[in-house]
Amino acid sequence: MRPIVALIDEIQELMNDPDLGKAARAAATSVIKRGRALGIHLILETQRIDKESLPKGVTSNIALRTCLAVPSHVEVDLALGTGAFRQGARPNQFEIGVDAGWGVRVGMGPMTTVRAAYLDRKTVEKICDRGLSLRGGKRDEVDLPPARDILADLIDVWNAGERGQHWDTLAARLAERFPDAYATLTAEALSALVRALDIESRNVKAGGVTRRGIYHAQLVQALDDRDRSGSDEHDTENPQAG
């Protein structure tokens, strides 16, 4: 049998559903106890692991756990198991907007800090191509949205007169202006996207408050550098141009 993997985000919504909750709790408890022997695996995500989010029969049988940024030692122990904070787990020290993707993992060797892989559009398209080919399809048969230029889009939503702005404000503006592309964009995800382009996240004072963000001058410089790089590549490929 091939493995069966079910990933459920915000699992507490299912567990507390007035119509489906009772059956979902029973099914999850059964699968989490017996599923691995049959190649069935559950990946459950929630912002807080407590008795309201998941039944005891589930949490007590989850060996592999990862905890992203949380506010305090209480959530650390809820997510990773009692005593994790005392043993050195510090996901409560991750900085929102800077440490996107980082988490503390237990259950697979010694407790360690890990980071999810960053996937740019080119990599995502390769993954999609492989997935589609395994199912007998092709990517040109799928209606993919056009690629966005995150730097140009940030310039587009930038208000005149702003020297710098916070990630959360910019993420909200992008979601409002381009909902098809950025409706679910978080401040942390936006920071990761921009930092992947070798642009530094900085402390920015805007509206009298200092938080992580970016300055307008950084965007302008990055766009200028990219345009200059593109022009240099064009001249190299066409040495007789001009």
Q: What is the CATH number of the domain that holds 156?
A: 1.10.10
Same-domain pairing of 194 and 228? yes
Does 120 have pLDDT greater than 80?
Answer: no
Q: 81 and 64 in contact (C-beta within 8 Å)?
A: no
Number of CB atoms found within 10 A of residue 200's CB = 9
Same-domain pairing of 159 and 224? yes
What is the structure's pLDDT at 66? 92
- Residue 139 forms part of a structural domain: yes
What is the structure's pLDDT at 241? 44
- Residue 238 forms part of a structural domain: no
Rounded distance between C-alpha atoms, residue 44 and residue 63, angstroms: 12
Q: What pTM value is reported for the model?
A: 0.49
Confidence of residue 238 (pLDDT cuts 50, 70, 90): low
Same-domain pairing of 51 and 78? no
Percentage of the chain beyond pLDDT 90 is 40
- Domain extent, residue 138, equals 118-145
Confidence of residue 143 (pLDDT cuts 50, 70, 90): low
What is the tally of structural domains in the chain?
Answer: 4
What does the mean pLDDT of the chain come to? 85
Same-domain pairing of 48 and 75? no
Q: 194 and 214 in contact (C-beta within 8 Å)?
A: yes
- Residue 96 forms part of a structural domain: yes
**Higher pLDDT pick, 117 / 224:** 224
- Residue 242 forms part of a structural domain: no
Give the ranges where the chain is alpha helix by DSSP (H).
Answer: 11-15, 21-34, 56-59, 73-80, 121-134, 150-157, 167-177, 179-182, 187-195, 216-237
Does 63 have pLDDT greater than 90?
Answer: no
Rounded distance between C-alpha atoms, residue 171 and residue 182, angstroms: 8
Confidence of residue 97 (pLDDT cuts 50, 70, 90): low
Same-domain pairing of 50 and 112? no
- Residue 225 forms part of a structural domain: yes
- Residue 220 forms part of a structural domain: yes
Confidence of residue 119 (pLDDT cuts 50, 70, 90): low
- Residue 193 forms part of a structural domain: yes
Same-domain pairing of 138 and 110? no
What is the structure's pLDDT at 145? 64
Which of the residue ranges 72-81, 132-141, 192-201 would you say has the lowest mean pLDDT?
Answer: 132-141
Beta bridge partners of 102: 115
pLDDT in tens, 157-215: 999 999 999 999 999 999 999 988 888 788 888 988 898 888 999 999 999 999 999 99
- Residue 45 forms part of a structural domain: yes
